[in-house]
């Protein structure tokens, strides 16, 4: 997480990666990437748009076969 991006004191910029393995080995694992930016408009008002990319290997292979 980056504090004070673009010199705005209360704004936040973040990037994260995650990975998880399913208990059923047939399903396999999934992983994802997330990016967000939090805008602080007023003392009690903020907006945080978020973008997520989630990949599941079994679902990806099923869509590629179709």
H helices within the chain, ranges in order? 57-65
pLDDT band of residue 65 (cuts 50, 70, 90) is low
Question: pLDDT class for 52, splitting at 50, 70, 90?
Answer: very high
**Contact call for residues 36 and 47 (beta carbons, < 8 A):** no
Whole-number Å distance between alpha carbons of 5 and 59: 36
Nearest to 42 by CA among 10, 2, 6, 7: 10
User: Which residues are within 8 A (CB) of 29 and not within 5 positions of it... i.e. 6 or more apart?
Assistant: 19, 20, 21, 22, 57
41 versus 37: the higher-pLDDT residue is 37
For residue 30, pLDDT beyond 80? yes
Asked whether residue 62 carries a pLDDT value surpassing 80, the answer given is: no
Q: Specify the pLDDT at position 21.
A: 84
Q: Mean pLDDT across the chain, nearest whole number?
A: 80
pTM score, whole prediction: 0.61
């Amino acid at each position: 997480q980056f504090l004070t991006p673009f010199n705005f004191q209360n704004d936040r910029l973040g990037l994260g990666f995650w990975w998880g393995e399913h208990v059923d080995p047939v399903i396999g694992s999934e992983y994802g990437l997330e990016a967000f930016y939090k805008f602080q408009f007023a003392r009690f008002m903020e907006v945080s748009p978020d973008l997520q990319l989630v990949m599941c290997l079994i679902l990806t292979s099923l869509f590629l076969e179709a």
